[in-house]
C-alpha cells in the first residue's frame, strides 16, 4: 500500500514543481496507528506502520491525524520534527471544547459518545463540559 500512496503523492509533488499554482494547500493523512475507526482510542493499537515516508516526497504542508489525543508525546515529536506538520483531531475535538488547553496542560480528556456522532440535535455536540 505504501508504494501506491508514494506514487500518488509523488505525482502531486511532480505537478506542483511543474507549475507552483498546481500545489495543493496541504495533504491530509491518517496515521496507521488504529486499524479500524470502529475501535476506540487505545484499542487494538497498530504500531507497525508510519506515514513518515510522505515527507521525503511531498514538500508542502502535511496534516496528520490518528490517535494523537491520547499520545501527546508523539504529537509533540511529530510537530517539532518538521515545520510543515499540522495535526488534526476528530473525535476528541468534539468531546472536549477546551481541547487545546487540555493538551497543552496535560489534563484528562472527556470520553466521547460514539452513539451521538452524525445525529441531529445538540446532544453530543454542545453538551460536553470544559475541564474544571
Q: What are phi and psi of 20, to 5 degrees?
A: -55, -25
pLDDT per residue over 38-77, tens digit each?
A: 666 666 666 677 888 999 999 999 999 987 888 888 888 8
pLDDT at residue 1 is higher than 60: no
Q: Tell me the average pLDDT of the chain.
A: 88
How high is the pLDDT of residue 84? 94
Specify the pTM. Answer: 0.80
The rounded Cα 106 to chain-centroid distance in angstroms is 18
Q: Report the pLDDT averaged over residues 107-118.
A: 92
The rounded Cα 19 to chain-centroid distance in angstroms is 28
pLDDT at residue 26 is higher than 60: yes
Question: How does DSSP assign 67-124, residue by residue?
Answer: S-TT-HHHHHHHHHH-TTEEEE--HHHHH-TTHHHHHHHTPPPPPP-GGGTT-SSSTT
Amino acid at each position: 500500500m505504501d508504494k501506491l500512496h508514494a506514487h500518488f503523492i509523488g505525482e502531486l509533488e511532480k505537478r506542483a514543481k511543474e507549475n507552483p499554482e498546481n500545489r495543493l494547500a496541504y495533504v491530509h493523512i491518517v496515521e496507521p496507528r488504529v486499524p479500524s475507526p470502529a475501535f476506540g482510542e487505545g484499542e487494538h493499537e497498530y504500531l507497525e506502520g508510519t506515514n513518515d515516508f510522505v515527507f521525503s516526497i511531498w514538500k508542502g504542508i502535511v496534516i496528520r491525524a490518528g490517535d494523537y489525543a491520547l499520545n501527546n508525546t508523539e504529537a509533540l515529536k511529530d510537530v517539532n520534527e518538521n515545520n510543515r506538520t499540522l495535526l488534526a483531531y476528530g473525535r476528541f475535538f468534539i468531546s472536549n471544547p477546551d481541547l487545546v488547553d487540555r493538551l497543552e496542560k496535560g489534563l484528562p480528556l472527556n470520553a466521547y459518545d460514539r452513539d451521538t456522532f452524525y445525529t441531529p440535535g445538540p446532544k453530543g455536540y454542545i453538551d460536553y463540559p470544559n475541564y474544571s
